[in-house]
Amino acid sequence: MEEKSSSMIQNTASRVALITGGVRGIGRAVTLALARRGWIVAVCYRKSEQEASTLEAELRAAGAQFMLVRSDVSSAPDAENLVRGVEENYGRVDALINCAGSYHRVHLLQESVQGWREMFDNNLHPVFYLSRAVAPAMMRLKWGRIINFGMVNADQNTGQPYVTAHYISKIGVIVLTRSLAKVLAPHGITVNSISPGFIDTGGIPQEEIARWLQSIPAGYAGSPEDAVGAVLFLLSEEARYVNGANIQVSGAWGV
């Protein structure tokens, strides 16, 4: 596990967020939004060195307190070490935001055993590993937020011949979210999921986006900031009684 950080002086007035997959796409937008609002951000990534360096420069320029950690959270020991490192540096984790995950499109009968397992190892299992690791400190503090990212229509349980394992893993995220919510609600902790639809993160060809628009009732693709808005709400005190929810961010597509 490789770590880069800013000053480690703890600011007890600031909340601490651990964001996996936080250097690209929605995760990056969440990281920057929280840093601008005074949160301490601990950002985990696995392979995206260039994106991590760019984010590091932006966070330093903004005067943010942060950690950037290269870690593979599909490994339970690495996930636990990641949480332990954040708690050692800042004393706690107030919010866990699980943005990490992988995706591939392949016909079910051509799917490999390795590809099948990767979808669960990267999309579902880390949510369990990390939630289990952050829960004890949150329970002691009687406050915490866990936000997981699902898939817009995963709760419909429909057949998905080309993204079967990914789809099942996201159904699992929703069930795990609701189960954690029931377990942790007595301790002042909320656990919710956000299910994005078509989100333009900047790496999708415009012709592909144009094809999407025909099926999106809102008439446009979402931006990472649309997901950020849902995250900020779930982190707020206004959402203290929202627990076990799955918020669709899709312009009414897939609902």
Where in the sequence numbering do the catalytic residues fall?
167
In angstroms, the Cα distances linking 117 to 100, 103, 131 are: 16, 12, 20
Contact present, 208 and 231 (Cβ < 8 Å): no
Contact present, 177 and 193 (Cβ < 8 Å): yes
Which stretches of the chain are DSSP H helices? Answer: 25-36, 49-61, 76-90, 113-123, 125-141, 164-184, 206-213, 224-235
State whether the Cα torsion 81-86-87-93 is positive or negative: negative
Q: Degrees (nearest 5) of the Cα angle 59, 60, 65?
A: 75
